[in-house]
Amino acid sequence: MRRTVLSATALACAAVLAGTVPAFADGASPVPSPRESVTASPAPAESTAPSAEPTRAPAEGQVSVVPREAPDTGVAPAQDGSGAQTGLIGGAAAAVFAAGGAVFLVRRRRATGA
């Protein structure tokens, strides 16, 4: 009888020892299990109007090089045609002046010759 009790006790102890495993945080494997990414899921789902402001993530470097200044994406257009108009007016004035000078020279030459 005593042998039976001792055998049973020894068996129970063996079972407890066999069941003792290292206390890993996730599962029985000592290799770290891949971390579930809670942040990788885009939030807006099917909505066409997601939240107004972007949310920050703890990771860094999605934009690997941040430019120095604001992009210069506006080359001002020509002054709405006013530049061309100015050129036209200047040219006309020069032509009138030249014509006047020519008339003056012709008259003066005729006057001298007469």
Amino acid present at 59: A
- Cα–chain center distance at 39: 19
Q: Scanning residues 55 to 74, which ones bind another protein (CB under 8 A)?
A: 55-74
Can residue 44 be called a binding residue for another protein (CB under 8 A)? yes
Q: Which listed residue (8, 89, 95, 105) binds another protein by CB under 8 A? A: 8
3-state secondary structure of 30: coil
Decide if residue 52 touches another protein (CB under 8 A). Answer: yes
Q: Does 31 bind another protein (CB under 8 A)?
A: no
- C-alpha–C-alpha distance, residues 90 and 84, integer Å: 10
- List phi, psi (to 5°) of 27: 85, 180
DSSP 8-state assignment for residue 52:
S
Among 31, 42, 111, 112, binds another protein (CB under 8 A): 42
**23 lies in the site for another protein, by CB under 8 A:** no
Q: Determine, following the binding rule CB under 8 A, whether residue 114 of this chain makes contact with another protein.
A: no
